[in-house]
Amino acid sequence: MEILVYTECKSPRLQFVLNYIFRDCFRCDFSVTDQEIMFSPYQGPKINYSGKYGLDGFRIPASGFLAEDCIRKMEPMPETSGEFIQLFPDNKEADLPFDIFSAVFFMISRYEEYLPYEPDHHGRFDAENCLAMKYDFLESPVVDIWVMNLRERLSGMYPGLDLSPGIFTFQPTSDIDLPFAILHRGVLRRVGGNIRSSLKQNGESEMRRAVLSGEVKDPYDTFDEMGKIHRGRGLQPIIFFLTAGYGKYDKGISPQNESFRELVGQTMKFGSPAIHPSYRSAGKPAILKKEIRTLSTIAGTGILDSRQHYLKFNLPESYRQYLEAGIRKEYSMGFASHCGFRAGTSKPFQFYDLEKETETALRVIPFQVMDRTLKDYMKLSPASAKEKTRQLVDAVRLVNGTFVSIWHNDAFSDQGEWQGWKEVYLEMLNYIQQAGD
């Protein structure tokens, strides 16, 4: 059954939002008209998205935001008195008390990231700059809640309407910033490491010598364990590999190293390879393309997925470069400093190039939690981190979203700074799967 949407002004922004809600979330057909003569006699389910309250159908107030074709400094004032937070509230009589289409567009287009802001020390959009942080809804998937509420209300008005509720899914991912703590890192870097370790505790220096002599395994070489964990649960993680040259923020081993090539092959037995574009590649398309080609050659397959190292991306430039380089799924949408929902949703969506007013072929997959966010930024203990991950899983499960986690290979070591953190991950997996049984 097709939904007919009436609007006084068709626009690329409105089409993008309707594609997301009805095509991607509800899995239903829809069409849009600006002709009353087409809308009024229609006997099927229909939505009146206009200021013409004399028309029948499910009424959603139109704020005018989606009719604009410019980027202007603005901040929608949230309404917090209802059952959930709302953007673009409207006091007029309607079946929804706010302009849900404008609210969804503001969040998933990342409109606020196109406005002037004070970047952090890595040049990134800081969580402190976002509306969700300011009004304390960063850990709530507000877009998913709005869409779920719309589904319930539409189904109430049109009982025969088949709108998919979606299903909860889980996608584990791992970033391989540094495959080995000691091995395969080059003579100069190893010598430098020996000097530094001599200044620390003797036990750490002993560990280095034991690894180099082959007596014990490199502590960051946790890939056998990662395979065992995921295969045993029927999970296929996406593994993001750094293939850059050595630099201040890019400290992986050379992709020309045979051990690196063997590692990629090893992880492909339980996961899917993806590119982790280097810090240095940000804003440099030629370097990005070279890194993708390198990994593609090693893996023997096309590379379509990416997550930027340090999450160092800016809109719209970075996403345009990913598209040009052949990337089709991008996993950087989240904050290093905070858990939660940067775009207000746990569900994938298309990148909308706001400067060009165009929906693109790049699929954005948000993540909700990262190991270093919990440990380094939030300063949580393993016990507190377990509780936080459970809260985030619950938030995503309630809206039938996609829970995406980031766990680095060194966090599986259960040694040094990561003592107790493998158990955080294992308990998260158990919680996800037990609740789904």
CA distance 341 to 393: 12
The more confident residue out of 201 and 174 is 174
Where do the DSSP E strands lie in 371-428? Answer: 402-406
Whether residue 214 is predicted with pLDDT greater than 90 in this model: the reply is: no
CA atoms within 13 A on the CB side of 417: 12
> How far from chain centre, in Å, is Cα 14?
23
| Fold held by 169-187+199-435 | TIM Barrel (3.20.20)
Which H or E run includes 172?
A: strand 169-176
**Confidence label for 410 from pLDDT (cuts 50, 70 and 90):** very high
Judge whether 125 and 115 are in contact, CB under 8 Å. Answer: no
Considering only CA atoms, which of 139, 129, 222 is closest in space to residue 388?
A: 139
Judge whether 54 and 65 are in contact, CB under 8 Å. Answer: no
Q: Which two tokens stand for residue 50?
A: 């206009």
Residue pLDDT, tens place only, 285-329: 999 999 999 999 999 999 999 999 999 999 999 999 999 999 999
Beta bridge partners of 3: 30
End-to-end CA distance of the chain: 33
CA distance 395 to 375: 21
pLDDT at 140: 98
Give Cβ neighbours of residue 169 (< 8 Å, ≥ 6 apart): 401, 402, 403
- Helix (H/G/I), strand (E/B), else coil: 77: coil
**Confidence label for 197 from pLDDT (cuts 50, 70 and 90):** very low
Percentage above 90 pLDDT, the chain: 87
Q: Give the pairing type, strands 3-7 and 46-49.
A: parallel
pLDDT at 327: 99
Break the chain into its structural domains and give their ranges: 3-157, 169-187+199-435
Whether residue 195 is predicted with pLDDT greater than 90 in this model: the reply is: no
Q: Which two tokens stand for residue 376?
A: 């380094």
Whether residue 384 is predicted with pLDDT greater than 90 in this model: the reply is: yes
Residue pLDDT, tens place only, 215-247: 688 999 999 999 999 999 999 999 999 999 789
Q: 415 φ, ψ to 5°?
A: -130, 160
Where do the DSSP E strands lie in 195-264? Answer: 238-241
Whether residue 61 is predicted with pLDDT greater than 60 in this model: the reply is: yes
**Confidence label for 437 from pLDDT (cuts 50, 70 and 90):** low
- Helix (H/G/I), strand (E/B), else coil: 370: strand
> In angstroms, what CA-CA distances link 233 with 136, 258, 273, 396, 408?
35, 30, 19, 20, 18
pLDDT at 53: 85
Would you give the DSSP letter of residue 21? Answer: I
Mean pLDDT of the chain: 94
